Structure 1
Amino acid sequence: MLPEEGVNAVRVVVGMLVRGEYEELETLTEARRLTAAEIAAAVRRHGRDLISPPDEAFRELGGVAVPREQADERAFHVDFPLWTAQDGLSDLTLGLTVAEVMDGVWTVELDGVHAP
């Protein structure tokens, strides 16, 4: 299970994505994998309007542990289901990696918005 701090990082990112704060997401993630333009294009490509998921969506949020270069870092890959105005719970998924780089300090990398 993802630690509470990691869940909070996912919650922040999903909120920014829903609000269309792509520039801010690029800044938060230091554009490690996706730029603001790439994030916006991924959302537009699916042609649906993202909405905030219910709080329950963040409970019991799991993640897959991923190896890091620094032995003292913890990192998890998360596939978070997105919600849309058209579908409610949709088939869109936000892929991201959250990592604790220092005690209590978490970073985020976006992998993309995907549909099956």
Structure 2
Amino acid sequence: MLPEEGVNAVRAVLGLLVRGHYEELETLTEGRRLSAGEMASAIERTGRHLITPPDGAFRSLDAVPLADGAADERAFRVRVPLWTAQDGLSDLAVSLLVTEVMDGVWTVELLGIHAGEGT
């Protein structure tokens, strides 16, 4: 289960994504994997408008612990369904790598934005 600090990191990422603050999100994720332009393009291609998920959506995140990180790090691969104005809960999802790099300090890497069940 993803600790609360990790959940808060996921909330922050989704908040930036929903508000279209792609440059801030690129800075937060240190530009690993996706640039601000790539994020914007991925969302625009869906033709849908992202909205903030209800609080309950964060209670049962699909978080898979990864065992291959450094001994002092905890890492999780997290798939988060996205909500849209058109659909409510949609078939879109974001895949994240959420890592605790120090006690209570979490980083996030945006792995992808996609439709369907895959990550």
- Place the TM-score, normalised by the shorter chain, in its bin: over 0.9
The aligned counterpart of 2:113 is: 113
Percent of aligned positions that are identical: 70
Aligned length: 116
TM alignment of 1:1-116, pairs within 5 A: 1-116=1-116
Report how far residue 45 of structure 1 moved.
Answer: 1.2
Amino acid at match of 1:4: E
Amino acid at match of 2:64: V
SS of structure 1 residue aligned to 2:57: helix
* Contact 2:61–2:79 (8 Å) recurs in 1: no
TM-score by length of 2: 0.94
* Contact 2:69–2:75 (8 Å) recurs in 1: no
**Structure 2 gap segments, 5+ residues each:** none
TM-score by length of 1: 0.96
**Structure 1 gap segments, 5+ residues each:** none
| CA distance in 2 between partners of 1:7 and 1:42 (Å) | 23
Superposition misfits of 4+ residues, deviation over 2 angstroms:
none
